[in-house]
Chains A and B, each alone.
Chain A
Amino acid sequence: MKNWWWKIAAIALVLYSITMGFMGNVPHLNILNETIRNLYFHVPLWFAMLVQMGISWFFALRYLNGYNIKYDMLSSRAAYVGGMFALPGLITGSIWATYTWGKPWVAEDPKLQGVMAAMLVYFVYYLLRALIPDAQTKARISAVYNIFAFIMTFVFIMIYPRLAPSSLHPGNGGNPAFGKYDMDNDMRMVFYPACLGWILMSVWLLNVLNRMKKLQYNLDNDEKIN
């Protein structure tokens, strides 16, 4: 019971953000109009993805410091969860772009390029894991790739858009500054709970996947981990 409260909070927050996302008041801005409601879904999904990828990176570092297979499980599961959140993030973004920018994929936008690079990195990461049969080698090699790729992606997302001219995203130059979103207080009341809710959801998913993986491992191996 004592570990339930945050799961209940996750459900409540996500349900609240979905309900209020469709029912609440939004300012009617040029071009954006009602599509601004997508802010409650698109942005929190990306935040959840970034959090998961950060978790994945952190546990890859933890793994290399002592080679404890437990951390590799967490790291790889977090990468999978990140991928799972990236896909709806990309789809909601494409839907939004269709109605505001005129087409689903604007290849010139540095943010979209960054996202594509990040997704490629993680697909290659899954592939790399699938290619190496031995569990310890797989964990070690993929942890190294994870650390390297995460930092390169980070460089790409954080540095390149600042050098490249104009992004279509708000906060020009790819700077995701909150203050520049055209949000009023009504929207903030939905947006922040939505972010928190989706991040909690992703952590919950990670928790479940990790427990599954652990059970699998304990079934297959004589030495148990907990």
Chain B
Amino acid sequence: MNTSNIIALLRKEFLLEFRQKTSLASILLYVLSIVFISFLSFKNGIKPDVWGALFWIVLFFAAINAASKSFFTESKARGIYNYTLYHPTEFVVAKIIYNILLLWVVSICSVFCFSWLINYPVQDSLLFLFTLLIGSTALAGALTLMSCIASKTGNSYSVMSLLSMPVCIPVMLMSLRLTRNAIDGLEWSVSYNFLGGLFLIDVIIITLSLFLFRYLWKE
């Protein structure tokens, strides 16, 4: 494993992102339209606990959208070229770091969409920020691996969401509970064990992805 290779791969990802600005824009547009639809569907305003649930569902599907790009766009020829240059761990580390950063951006943007179009009922913003960062890190780790698996099956996007849903349930439930605590502005001591649990899940997911990726990589 070589740090300069990881940096080179990351640089490639960011360059691609900036050259074809459509990809990030499409995810943000997706979030914006879903938030607008949900705003229209709830006639009598959205209650705080519904807000939390809605937020994580929107974020989950936006995350699937965002992370599915990480392997579907790789062509076979470029894949073979990559095998000659990098170690699989370098490759997956770069992908995961990139997806984590991408999902952080997406989640912060979703918060802005929600607070602009619906409302922002969260009382403890710092706890909510921590939940967002840790939760979307776990999502990024799991979805990177799932996107690689889904890209091998041929029919991509629907398989991707099917594969990721059951494995992301623990992450979603923990994040939801933390979000509810943040909305109600509860004491931090109530949330410590959930924050710890979520962080533990982060570590488990990323370790597993690093370990398992080498078996998926080559044809």
Binding site for B on A (CB under 8 A): 64, 113, 117, 120-121, 124, 127-128, 131-132, 137, 140-141, 143-145, 147-149, 151-153, 155-156, 159-160, 163-164
A147→B208 contact, CB < 8 A: yes
Given contact pairs A121-B167, A124-B162, A143 touches B153 in the complex (Cβ within 8 A): no
B193 to chain A, nearest CB (A): 5
B212→A159 contact, CB < 8 A: no
What does DSSP make chain B's interface, helix, strand, loop or mixed?
helix
A143 to B170, alpha carbons, bound, how many Å? 21
Contact of A160 among B142, B154, B174, B219 (CB under 8 A): B174
A132 to B193, alpha carbons, bound, how many Å? 40
Of all chain A residues, the one with the shortest Cβ separation from B153 is A131
A145 to B142, alpha carbons, bound, how many Å? 11
B1 to chain A, nearest CB (A): 20
Given contact pairs A117-B166, A121-B167, A128-B163, A145 touches B149 in the complex (Cβ within 8 A): yes
A206 to B205, alpha carbons, bound, how many Å? 30
B149→A155 contact, CB < 8 A: no
Residues of chain B lying within 8 A (CB to CB) of residue A149: 166-167
B153→A144 contact, CB < 8 A: no
A128→B215 contact, CB < 8 A: no
B153→A160 contact, CB < 8 A: no
Question: Given known contacts A128-B159, A148-B167, what 10 new A-B pairs fall within 8 Å (CB)?
Answer: A117-B166, A117-B169, A117-B170, A124-B165, A145-B149, A148-B208, A151-B204, A152-B142, A155-B204, A156-B169
A211 to B79, alpha carbons, bound, how many Å? 38
B162→A127 contact, CB < 8 A: yes
What does DSSP make chain A's interface, helix, strand, loop or mixed?
helix
Which of A127, A141, A149 has the most CB atoms of chain B within a 10 A radius of its CB? A141
A152→B167 contact, CB < 8 A: yes
B173→A160 contact, CB < 8 A: yes
A156→B170 contact, CB < 8 A: yes
Interface string of B49-72 (1 = CB under 8 A from A): 000000000000000000000000
A131→B166 contact, CB < 8 A: no
Of all chain A residues, the one with the shortest Cβ separation from B198 is A163
B194 at the interface (CB under 8 A from A): yes
A113 to B166, alpha carbons, bound, how many Å? 11
Residues of chain A lying within 8 A (CB to CB) of residue B173: 113, 160
B153→A128 contact, CB < 8 A: yes
Residues of chain A lying within 8 A (CB to CB) of residue B149: 128, 141, 144-145
A132→B153 contact, CB < 8 A: yes
Task: List 7 interface pairs A-B (beta carbons < 8 Å), by A numbering.
Answer: A64-B215, A120-B166, A144-B215, A148-B212, A151-B208, A152-B166, A160-B170
